Amino acid sequence: MNKHEEVLVAIRQIIRAVDLHSRKLNKELGLTGPQLLLMRSIRDCGEVTIRQLSNNTNMSQATATTIIDRIEKRGLVERKRSQLDKRKVHAYLTEEGAILLEKAPLPLQDHFIDRFQNLEEWEQSLLVSSVQRISSMMNAEHLNVAPLLEVGNIDHHQETPSR
């Protein structure tokens, strides 16, 4: 196999691993990766506004709002107006949301982050440089994306029915 084929196979394996993890998450919990990410952020932050959530998760405020709307309809989160500042609305996990979150597997990127952080500094830098070069070679370096391993555009993915 040529070197370029080996690279393409490795990229395809990564894409497939992300897709399989996303399907498993959706099948087991009926959640998408971005929904799970926002729910974890709500749990970890406690009282949090949508703006803070979007900053914490590197999502646009519009995307975070759309995702919160969907999980709020499922009864997993609720929004409440602040008692101190009526202009602010905070998101909270419901009891059902907290229970579901306890059953949720770790996001795929958590396993990656653990392994990546155990590498030597030089090896981390080498990997970052190599993956950035691949992104550039695929004309993808200009795409603004969150550090979340999820298949497809997270705005569009929310519109896709369960498989």
Model confidence at 152: pLDDT above 70? no
Chain centroid offset of residue 57 CA? 7
Higher pLDDT, 35 or 158: 35
Both tokens assigned to 131: 């993956």
Query: What is the model's pLDDT at position 148?
Result: 65
Task: For residues 36 and 10, give the distance between their C-alpha atoms in angstroms, rounded to a whole number.
Answer: 27
Task: For residues 120 and 130, give the distance between their C-alpha atoms in angstroms, rounded to a whole number.
Answer: 15
pLDDT per position as a tens digit, 8-63: 999 999 889 888 888 888 888 888 888 998 999 999 988 889 999 988 888 889 99
Span 3-157: which CATH code?
A: 1.10.10.10
Residue reference for tokens 């609305």: 89
* Predicted confidence band of residue 129 (pLDDT cuts 50, 70, 90): very high
pLDDT per position as a tens digit, 82-127: 888 888 889 999 999 999 999 888 777 788 889 999 999 999 999 9
Task: For residues 75 and 67, give the distance between their C-alpha atoms in angstroms, rounded to a whole number.
Answer: 13
* Burial class of residue 39, CB neighbours in 10 A (0-12, 13-18, 19+): buried
Both tokens assigned to 99: 């229970």
Q: Where are the domains of the chain?
A: 3-157
Higher pLDDT, 157 or 151: 151
Alpha-carbon distance values, 53 to 64, 95, 120 (Å): 7, 19, 32
Q: Which of 75, 28, 17, 62 is nearest to 154 (CA)?
A: 62
Query: What is the model's pLDDT at position 46?
Result: 83
Query: What is the model's pLDDT at position 141?
Result: 80
Higher pLDDT, 96 or 161: 96
Query: What is the model's pLDDT at position 136?
Result: 92
Q: What is the DSSP secondary-structure string of 47-104? A: SEEHHHHHHHHT--HHHHHHHHHHHHHTTSEEEEE-SS-TT-EEEEE-HHHHHHHHHP
